Amino acid sequence: MTRPRVLLVTGAYYPEISAAGGQAREAARVLADRAEFSVITTAVDRRLPPREVVDGVAVHRLPIDVNRGASRARAAAQLTATFIGLQRSIDIVHVHGFSSKNVPLTVLARTFRKPIVLTLHTVDQDDPPAVLSRGRLAAWAYRSADVFLPVSPFLSDRYRASGLPIEKLEEVPNGIDIDRFRPASDQERVGLRRDLGLPLDGAIVLFVGFFSRDKRPDLLFDAWLRLTASLDRAVHLVCVGATASPYFEIDPALAAAMRARAARAGVGECLAFVEPTLAIERYFRAADVFALPSAREAMPLALLEAMACGLPAIATRLPRATDVIIDHGRDGLLFDTVDELATGLGALLTDRARAAEIGRRARQRIVEHFTVDRMASRWLSVYARLMPRRGSAG
């Protein structure tokens, strides 16, 4: 097969952190000898260079202030100029998520006759009900995709219910680098905690995600407070993620309220906040339990990463999302209420033999179903189907 030349379009890319950008980077690494990639991405950090080679992939960054219309307009103009400059070296455009840039990008792809692959990552943002209600141009851009790749059954269900062509649908779950995300020995865990400045004594419950109302770190905090009052050992809550930023739907009041409440309860020293990190696997491998309290997810990458590290996890029961990852009681726990969350955390922290077995099975689940190699192979098969159009490209 001729090596496909694929333009990946993301909302953020290394070293900025996003789930979609991370998946794109991992797939480009795995497929480096079978496909040729380039990247166009928006960037909120203006210190980053407009063009850079990352892991052998040319990355073109469009600086943007998402809160300013003029900045968004400049980014659209830069997108147009960059795409035109690259179009002769592109066979396929693979877009990750739906945003305002999809409209000009679709115009460009159609003008130069490049097929479009659209990965659906986010519930209530990338799925048909969310996009088709945004007006005619957004609906046209969305419907123009040649292949849709939802990452979860929930997003697939929404696609099917929309009446869009079923033949364009191919569900491809997120994938994890199981060499990077792997279980730690007891000795490694102690060393990681020391290196990261985490407590060496007591248990660590880990939260990973930005601080939004949908991610619900405050719900986990409530369960953790109940837990600390019922156990005779120290339980530390470590939260890794952005607590204040103009980007996404981050609410800085969440972390501030958690700090104040922890201090009033006399457990302030057991609550830690860590800024987003490119070495997140070190925190998974240093923790005892992972908790995902989100109210809305499609295919939560942090949950997959935790399970790949053999970390026993408890997650909100989200139909056709978390419940297709976790088999409750076997390779993780699911909860519906804050009481169930507190009880589940307590069970995982007190019955260490059961927790270890759940962690072992969690790792096995990821290895069998959610590896980056499996995901990348599925992407490559989609690219191969679209390659016959190369001869007619502009």
The pLDDT value given to residue 243: 87
Residue-wise pLDDT for 4-54, tens only, equals 999 999 999 999 999 999 999 999 999 999 999 999 999 999 899 999 999
Q: Check residue 250 and give its pLDDT.
A: 86
pLDDT given for residue 391 in this prediction? 46
What mean pLDDT comes out for the span 298-311? 98
pLDDT band for position 231 (cuts 50, 70, 90): confident
The per-residue pLDDT for 67 is 75
The 10s digit of each residue's pLDDT in 192-213 is 999 999 999 999 999 999 999 9
- Whether 5-175+372-392 and 186-369 share one fold: the answer is yes
Report yes or no on whether pTM surpasses 0.85: yes
Spatial distance between the Cα atoms of 284 and 362, rounded to a whole number of angstroms: 13
CATH hierarchy code of domain 186-369: 3.40.50.2000
Over residues 52-63, the pLDDT tens digits come to 999 999 999 999
For the chain, domain boundaries: 5-175+372-392, 186-369
Output the pLDDT for position 66: 74
For domain 5-175+372-392, give the CATH superfamily: Glycogen Phosphorylase B; (3.40.50.2000)
